[in-house]
Structures are given as C-alpha cells and as structure tokens.
Amino acid sequence: MEFSLTINGTVQKVDVEPETPLLWVLRENVGLTGTKYGCGIARCGACTIHVDGQATKACQYPASAAVGKKITTIEGLSKDSSHPVQLAWMEVGVPQCGYCQSGQIMAASALLAKRKAPTDAEIEAAMADNLCRCGTYLRIVEAIHRAAKIEQS
C-alpha cells in the first residue's frame, strides 16, 4: 500500500504493508540508518525517534499510524550535530560503542523539549527504557544536564 510520511520535514512516499514497523520503513525504504534495531520489542530504546515530538519506539510503531504525523529521526535532529543534546554528548564523551546513542539522544531531546531543567529522577524516568550495554548512564545524565544548560544560554 502506498502512503506518504513526513520524515525530517520531507514528504516521503512509501509502498509497504500498513503494519510494517516504522523502523524498517526508515532504514530500508527511506535509507535513514541512524535509527537502530536492538530488540524488536520496544524494550531497549535503540530505535527511539520522535513522532509529533514524542519519544517513540519505531520497532513497534506501524508505519500506517505515522501518516499525517511529524517524524523526526537522529538525522533530522540537526543538520550539523548542533542540537544541544548532541553538543553535550560530545562534550561529556558519552558514547563507548555508540550503538544505542541515536536512541538515547532522541529520548533525551524529547525530555528536554518538555522539561527545560529536569531533575536526576526525571531523567532516570524518561531514559529508563533506553538501555546502554556499555553502562554510560552517569555520563548520559551529566550530558542531559549539560544540554539543558546549553539550551538556556
């Protein structure tokens, strides 16, 4: 079935089954590979994107449900890695292997869009479904606080 999706501000026509997970549409049909496959059951957060500004697990989100909504992937967060969360991630040196980082960044940026100066507890709650096998959680929290300060300046 053919339908249109608005991805990173551009309308993309795709021809997929309506229940196809948005993750596979992004990666295989549109060529945006920054969104990663992790678990396939919306538990790890590697596939986190924004749908109408909300952090959303793309592996369990049917493509047809995204029609008429604004989809943002890591590639669309900023053109030059200048988003405050991306800057803070680099300043703090968050990634080790890096596999989960696009999902982590998308979850963090959705949090900061709602809460300008989150507490540690709010960060932990918002990031609870985004796993990092390397265990960089303390740096993730530090980077989110740093990003909040960048946004306020």
Q: Per residue in 6-59, pLDDT tens? A: 999 999 999 999 999 999 999 999 999 999 999 999 999 999 999 999 999 999
- Give the position of tokens 């669309």: 76
Q: How far apart are CA 145 and CA 137, in angstroms?
A: 13
Rg of the chain taking only CA atoms, in angstroms: 15
Which pTM was predicted?
0.96
Instruction: Name the residue type at position 25.
Output: V
CATH number of the domain located at residue range(s) 2-76 in this protein? 3.10.20.30
Question: What's the pLDDT at 90?
Answer: 97
Question: Does the pLDDT of residue 152 top 90, yes or no?
Answer: no
* Integer CA distances (angstroms), 23 to 61, 64, 72, 106, 147, in order: 8, 12, 12, 14, 26
**Closest to 35 measured CA to CA, from 56, 19, 18:** 56
Q: Length of the chain in residues, anyone?
A: 153
Outline which parts of the chain fall under CATH 1.10.150.120.
84-152
- Is the torsion defined by CA of 101, 50, 56, 111 positive or negative? positive
Bridge-based pairing state of the strands 54-57 and 2-7: unpaired
8 A C-beta contact, residue 118 and residue 85: no
Question: What's the pLDDT at 120?
Answer: 98
Outline which parts of the chain fall under CATH 3.10.20.30.
2-76
Q: Per residue in 55-74, pLDDT tens? A: 999 999 999 999 999 999 99
Candidates 3.40.190.10, 1.10.260.40, 1.10.150.120, 3.40.50.300; CATH matching 84-152: 1.10.150.120
